[in-house]
Amino acid sequence: MTQMLAAKAGEITPAMRRVAEKEKVTPEFIREGVAAGTIVIPANINHKSLDPAGFGKGLRTKVNANIGTSTSFPDIDRELEKLKGVLEAKADAVMDLSTGGEIDRGRRRILEESTIAVGTVPIYQAFLENREKRGSMIEMSADDLFEVIERHCSDGVDFITVHCGVTLGILERIKNQSRITDIVSRGGSFLTGWMLHHGQENPLYEQYDRLLDLCLQYDVTLSLGDGLRPGCLADATDRAQIQELIVLGELVDRARERGVQAMVEGPGHVPLDQIAANVQVQKTLCKGAPFYVLGPLVTDIAPGYDHITAAIGGTVAAAAGADFLCYVTPSEHLGLPTLEDVREGIMASRLAAHAADLVKGIPGAMEWDREMARARKALNWEKQIELALDPQKAARLRRERNPGGHEACTMCGDFCAMKIVAQYMGKQPEYC
């Protein structure tokens, strides 16, 4: 029985209890959200090391980190080191987007070592395997694709990104409108090439019930991918993007009817003033399904700083109701991220998520900031570092910039406002 089917039957599962404990809400609140489809708990029955988390309405905004091999860097050990960094940086989910080396072996190692939800995009592997077998990715059959999807599900993958909303009808529309960047989703581009070559409908759309059957068997959460997401600001919120979203809303309904959990992926590049509207449209068309956004990036001109552009957009999106932020690293648009890039991307997205949680009134969010304020007033550096979003970086900067162990920081020194006011007002700060 899937988490959703159990919730609909009135059952509170161990995973629901664990999510409630972590979120500081009641188990019944979680059960109701899972039953309604406004909360998902990606928890494959075969992912034995998982500590489940919830994504959706009324819960803390979650952050995903992407790792994975490429044809240029096929070493899985390098990606497992990144996984350790992802866990240390407290991301809530990780996606294995591997396209090089021993993909099956790498995925299984990641699932063994990951205590957080693991997602994949099975179509990457399906196309690559067909290139190796037949000399052309385009010769893939629907059965080839579903065989790879089942392999991922049986291995224990908690959520899969599937581009079910890229249909022949929508591709006809995109040909008749002017887009600067066309299709930037790898999965979306693979499917587009296959559909146009064969003149056949998207198998993930046409055989959607077959996909739902696999999800029911292993309790895999669908992440309905935005294959036509905008790749630049000029393409944002256009007809192709919205038409795909309408289709995804219909597919959410069908998943819920079968008892399969589903969330919906959102755009990547969106002007700041369009972000809230994008979230509202998704929530309306998809009836409150959890919304997973890539950034979104609010400008196209910042290679090297795209973790910042994504954090700006992510804050606005999450404050408007987005539930799940996919991180963007400083190397986005430039190359495969390093371990340090991964950490920087996670911290930027976690900062955006927390800023939004303050707005949304998520339990515990404001209390965290109040504790930090009290520690600052007391000049309690140990407590400030403990409470910091990134204690490791905060401790390093404190140590490097204050070598003499000054009571105040070296920016203000003897003129520390906190210290002066405390002395003259005779107030005893907390945490002393």
Does residue 358 have a known ligand-binding role?
Answer: no
- Evaluate if residue 410 carries a pLDDT over 70: no
Does residue 354 have a known ligand-binding role?
Answer: no
- Evaluate if residue 426 carries a pLDDT over 70: no
- Evaluate if residue 431 carries a pLDDT over 90: no
| Residues 6+ away with beta carbon under 8 Å from 227 | 163, 165, 166, 183, 185, 187, 188, 189, 191, 192, 244
Does residue 307 have a known ligand-binding role?
Answer: no
Cβ pair 368, 403 in contact under 8 A: no
Does residue 412 have a known ligand-binding role?
Answer: yes
| Residues 6+ away with beta carbon under 8 Å from 14 | none
- Evaluate if residue 429 carries a pLDDT over 60: no
Output the pLDDT for position 33: 98
Output the pLDDT for position 10: 98
Tell me the C-alpha distance between 325 and 292, whole Å: 6
For residue range 29-61, list pLDDT tens digits in order.
999 999 999 999 999 999 999 999 999 999 999
Does residue 218 have a known ligand-binding role?
Answer: no
- Provide the terminal-to-terminal Cα distance of the chain, rounded to the nearest Å: 52
Does residue 5 have a known ligand-binding role?
Answer: no
Does residue 154 have a known ligand-binding role?
Answer: no
Fill in the DSSP letter of residue 115.
S
Output the pLDDT for position 401: 87
Tell me the C-alpha distance between 320 and 277, whole Å: 8
Does residue 228 have a known ligand-binding role?
Answer: yes
Q: In 3-state terms, what secondary structure has residue 64?
A: strand
Q: Which residues pair with 93 in a beta bridge?
A: 64, 117
Fill in the DSSP letter of residue 138.
G
For residue range 246-286, list pLDDT tens digits in order.
999 999 999 999 999 999 999 999 999 999 999 999 999 99
Q: Which residues pair with 39 in a beta bridge?
A: 56
Tell me the C-alpha distance between 91 and 118, whole Å: 11
Token digits of residue 397: 């900067």
Token digits of residue 23: 């979120």
Does residue 257 have a known ligand-binding role?
Answer: no
206-210, 367-371, 428-432, range with the lowest pLDDT:
428-432
Does residue 305 have a known ligand-binding role?
Answer: no
For residue range 88-128, list pLDDT tens digits in order.
999 999 999 999 999 999 999 999 999 999 999 999 999 99
- Evaluate if residue 415 carries a pLDDT over 90: no
Q: Which residue has the higher pLDDT, 238 or 423?
A: 238
Does residue 152 have a known ligand-binding role?
Answer: no
Ordered structural domains, the chain, with CATH? 3-360 (3.20.20.540), 365-425 (no CATH)
Q: In 3-state terms, what secondary structure has residue 55?
A: strand
- Evaluate if residue 132 carries a pLDDT over 90: no
Output the pLDDT for position 134: 83
Fill in the DSSP letter of residue 135.
S
Output the pLDDT for position 307: 98
| Residues 6+ away with beta carbon under 8 Å from 391 | 385
Instruction: Share the mean pLDDT of the chain.
Output: 94
Q: Position of tokens 């070559």?
A: 197
| Residues 6+ away with beta carbon under 8 Å from 171 | 192, 195, 196
Output the pLDDT for position 178: 83
Q: In 3-state terms, what secondary structure has residue 106?
A: helix
Does residue 64 have a known ligand-binding role?
Answer: no
Does residue 265 have a known ligand-binding role?
Answer: yes
* Residue 99: other Cβ atoms inside 10 A: 17
Does residue 223 have a known ligand-binding role?
Answer: no
- Evaluate if residue 409 carries a pLDDT over 80: no
Read out DSSP for 260-295?
--EEEE--SB--GGGHHHHHHHHHHHTTT--EEEET
Does residue 185 have a known ligand-binding role?
Answer: yes
pTM over 0.85: yes
Token digits of residue 125: 């592997």
Cα 291 to the chain's mean position, in Å?
9
Does residue 292 have a known ligand-binding role?
Answer: yes
Closest CA to 189 of 223, 227, 225: 227
430 pLDDT band, cuts 50/70/90, is low
For residue range 372-386, list pLDDT tens digits in order.
999 999 899 999 999
